[in-house]
Amino acid sequence: MNDAPIDWRRGDFVVSTDRGRIDAGRALALLRETSWGGGLTLPVLRTAIAHSVCFGLYRGKDLHGLARVVTDLATYGYLTDVVVAEESRGLGLGRFMMECVLEHPRLQGFRRMALLTLDAAGLYAALGFTEGPGDLTYMERR
């Protein structure tokens, strides 16, 4: 993915789409603390980062959060791997990071931005996400 980095600031924190700033080892450690990230490996995460629009949440040079959008940059985006470090939770940083995702100029005008969540539906609902239509069937191939 070849996109120009964008930064947003709030207090001591910065959200940046500069993939070169992401410490993949730290990102993997954050994701392994989640219910979904335990099976990731560093090579797989590095590939995922290289081919996604990524949002790193930083205090100084330290990575405190991550979000990725897998997208064709035209019609669809899938929001995934949204995580904030435990020591930084409760400060509104997850919402800040999500606001940055939703403001990103290359992620506008999609037919659909989708996500799956186990425990953060309230956050996403407050940002305008709704449950998908009941007549669609979620499917996957593993």
Is 94 in a helix, a strand, or coil?
helix
Q: Describe the strand order of the beta sheet including 13-16 as a list of residue ranges.
A: 7-10, 13-16, 53-59, 62-71, 76-84, 112-114
Residue 32 structural domain: 7-126
Q: Is residue 113 part of a domain?
A: yes
Residue 139 pLDDT more than 90?
no
Residue 115 pLDDT more than 80?
yes
Q: How many domains does the chain have?
A: 1
CA atoms within 13 A on the CB side of 111: 4
Question: Who wins on pLDDT, 132 or 64?
Answer: 64
Percent of the chain past pLDDT 70, that is, above it, reads 99
Mean local confidence (pLDDT), 44-70: 97
Distance of CA 134 to the CA centre of its chain: 25
Mean local confidence (pLDDT), 94-105: 97
Q: Does pTM surpass 0.95? A: no
Q: Is residue 2 part of a domain?
A: no
Q: Is residue 63 part of a domain?
A: yes
Mean local confidence (pLDDT), 2-18: 95
Mean pLDDT of the chain: 93
- pLDDT-based confidence at 13, cuts 50/70/90? very high
φ, ψ (nearest 5 deg) of residue 35: -75, -15
Q: Is residue 139 part of a domain?
A: no
Lookup: tokens for 38 = 């335990």
* φ/ψ bin of 5: left (φ > 0), alpha (ψ from -120 to 50), beta (otherwise): beta
Residue 135 pLDDT more than 90?
no
CATH of the domain at 37: 3.40.630.30
Mean local confidence (pLDDT), 65-85: 96
